[in-house]
Amino acid sequence: MSYDLVTFGETMIRLSPPDNKQLEQAEQIDAHASGSELNVTVAAQRLGLQMPYVTRLTRNPLGRMVENKAREYGVDTSHIVWSNEDRVGLYFVEFGASPRANSVLYDRKDSAIARIKSREVAKALPEGFSLEALAITLRETPSVWKNRWSMIAYPNSKNPSRGRV
């Protein structure tokens, strides 16, 4: 298959209590696959671009949940790197109710994506693609700076910066 772009990043499971409840009040938790890089992939697909999503997931029900959600939106998931030992990152969101603001709690230590190796990324890229751009996505707290990066790989023939200094 011929691709226009490749996206790479982390998709976590977002867990949130319904009805603006706080976690300590919750009797139920809603679960959703969530990640900005996957969102970009879905948006680009809707604009007519052909692109796979490269990520590293754990081979368990949570990893399959992420893969299934991506496929549900028409994303090519054939370039996912699978792990048998790690875990899928989680984050908990309490949706605020005025005057209480939204609250987010991350649980992503030792997640599959945090342990990905550059050789795994290179191997997962479709033929004709190479790593050309790296953008660090900084967050407000240092606890989520580590391993929070996004990558876009252009096909070698379509790279807009090829030949430029």
Q: For residues 129 and 85, which has the higher predicted lDDT (pLDDT)?
A: 85
Asked whether the predicted pLDDT for residue 164 surpasses 50, the reply is no
Asked whether the predicted pLDDT for residue 16 surpasses 90, the reply is yes
* Domain residue limits, the chain: 6-155
Confidence (pLDDT) at 153: 54
Four-way CATH pick for 6-155: 1.10.10.410, 3.90.1150.10, 3.40.1190.20, 3.40.50.1220: 3.40.1190.20
Q: Are 145 and 138 in contact (CB under 8 A)?
A: yes
Confidence (pLDDT) at 148: 43
CA–CA gap between residue 136 and residue 60 (Å, rounded): 28
Residue 25 backbone phi and psi in degrees, to 5: -95, -10
Confidence (pLDDT) at 141: 47
Q: Which residue has the tokens 């005025």?
A: 98
What's the mean pLDDT in 58-86?
95
Q: What is the mean pLDDT of the chain?
A: 82
0.85 cut: is pTM over it? no
What's the mean pLDDT in 77-97?
94
